[in-house]
Structure formats: C-alpha cells, structure tokens
C-alpha cells in the first residue's frame, strides 16, 4: 500500500443526475430527484479515488462504512460535485469525509471508510460458504 496523501487532501468527483438515480422501490417511483442511495454510491466513488492511487497491483479496496446526511434535493440534469477529504489513513484503513453540492447548495455530507486488502485475502473473505 502506498501513502502518497496527507490528511486534508481532497479528491473531486462530478456526477450528473439522471432518471436512473431517482428514488424508486419495487412499488415504483417515489421522487423524481437523486436518491440517497445514488448519492451514497457517488460518495463512495469519491473516496475510492484515493484508494485507486494508494493500492498496489496485488491489492483492492472494500467499503467498511458509510454515513450520509441527505440535506436537499438534486434534480435531473443537476451536476453534483462530491468532494472527498482524507481524514485518516491508519494501517490499511482509508477514512474520508465528503460534501456533495450543486453549485453553492449542500445536497449531502457524511463519511466513508474503505480498507485496502491483498486481492487473495479479499477473495477468501468474499468466497461463498
């Protein structure tokens, strides 16, 4: 595992809201706005941008936790800018906070955790039992 970053470093991921991101369940469309689920996936990706530069060829990242506070809606066509900020990198754990914004408006914030493991270790952990 490489350690090219310092606490406070940031990565930015931009996501355009599409109908595929809308809040829906088995009973149909709930709201024609970006779902909390879609925001969570984008937040994890923003944190993963650190992992992509930290992991060695024989390593991979896996999510360990996610907290998300959904504050306001993002509509179809809106571009959400997710800024992940490195909070800590202890051992093989990578912890980030994030903010998701449309322009100046805060859409969501929270924290993500990922762990970098050897691919063979991860394969054994994820193997069906």
- What are the tens digits of pLDDT across the range 18-57? 999 999 999 999 999 999 999 999 999 999 999 999 999 9
Q: Which residue range(s) make up the domain with 25?
A: 10-126
User: Can you give the CATH number for the domain in which 45 is found?
Assistant: 3.10.129.10
Cα distance between residue 117 and residue 111, in whole Å: 20
Q: Which pTM was predicted? A: 0.93
Q: Is residue 95 part of a domain?
A: yes
pLDDT value at residue 121: 93
- Assess contact for 53 and 4: CB atoms under 8 A: yes
Task: Tell me how many domains the chain contains.
Answer: 1
* List of long-range contacts for 32-41, beta carbons under 8 Å, 24+ apart: 32/75, 32/76, 33/73, 33/74, 33/75, 33/76, 34/73, 34/74, 34/75, 34/78, 34/80, 34/107, 36/68, 36/70, 36/108, 39/68, 39/70, 39/74, 39/80, 39/100, 39/107, 39/108, 40/66, 40/68
pLDDT value at residue 106: 98
Q: Is residue 2 part of a domain?
A: no
Q: Is residue 44 part of a domain?
A: yes
Is residue 129 scored above 90 in pLDDT?
no
Q: Is residue 1 part of a domain?
A: no
Strand-pair partners of 25:
28
pLDDT value at residue 86: 98
Q: Is residue 90 part of a domain?
A: yes
């Amino acid at each position: 595992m490489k350690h090219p970053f310092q606490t406070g470093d940031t990565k930015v991921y931009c996501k355009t809201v599409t109908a595929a991101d809308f809040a829906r369940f088995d009973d149909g469309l709930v709201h024609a706005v970006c779902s909390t689920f879609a925001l969570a996936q984008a937040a994890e990706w923003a944190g993963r941008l650190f992992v992509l530069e930290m992991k060695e060829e024989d390593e991979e990242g896996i999510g360990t936790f996610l907290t998300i506070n959904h504050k306001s809606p993002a509509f179809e066509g809106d571009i959400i800018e997710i800024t992940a900020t490195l909070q800590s990198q202890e051992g093989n754990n990578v912890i980030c906070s994030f903010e998701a914004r449309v322009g100046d408006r805060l859409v969501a914030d929270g924290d993500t955790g990922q762990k970098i493991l050897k691919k063979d270790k991860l394969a054994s952990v994820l193997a069906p039992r």
